[in-house]
Amino acid sequence: MITSKSPRKVLQLAYALGVEVLPKYFSPFSRHGFTKPQLFACLVLREHQKKSFRGIEALLIDSPQWLADIGLAKAPDHNTLSRAFNEFVDPDLADSMLDLMAKLAASRKFLRGDGLKPLTLDSSMFESRHVSRHFERRQRDSIAPPKRRRRKHRKKGA
């Protein structure tokens, strides 16, 4: 699998994917200030950079060339990004996006191999860095087996 540490490349690839698989707007009656692919690219960049909605807004404001790469004149507001995120988290849309992303990756030769092995992606909708306390406890318990306590034998009559 090809990965990138460049935020600009991640933004551009996410935008290209969004243009290929997403409709242009959420609704024909929406304001049409930003397209779905543009907002999708911003949200992918947010996840890549592990930033909040306000943090990614500030990063985009400071990077006008990145905005120009995806056809934006100004950065989306953090509220706009938050609302778009809630729209994209819809399970039906996420399933279809994962299928389309796998097909796109295969068509662009991003995937190596014969194509017979299944592609696995995480679609849990949790943050990539989310770990539950239960998981941490189970992991800690499975690494070191619990120590056995020796029973002390008491003498009778003492």
Q: Please tell me the distance from the alpha carbon of residue 43 to that of residue 93, in angstroms, as a whole number.
A: 15
Q: Please tell me the distance from the alpha carbon of residue 62 to that of residue 49, in angstroms, as a whole number.
A: 14
> Which residue type does 157 have?
G
3-state percent helix, strand, coil for the chain, nearest multiple of 5: 55, 0, 45
Phi and psi of 71, rounded to 5°? 80, 25
* pLDDT tens figures, 64-123: 999 999 999 999 999 999 988 988 877 666 666 667 766 766 676 665 655 555 555 555
pLDDT at 1: 43
Q: Please tell me the distance from the alpha carbon of residue 8 to that of residue 136, in angstroms, as a whole number.
A: 34
Task: Give yes or no for a contact between 125 and 94, defined as CB atoms under 8 angstroms apart.
Answer: yes
Residue in 43, 34, 36, 18 with CA at minimum distance from that of residue 97: 18
Q: pTM for this one?
A: 0.60
Task: Give yes or no for a contact between 38 and 71, defined as CB atoms under 8 angstroms apart.
Answer: yes
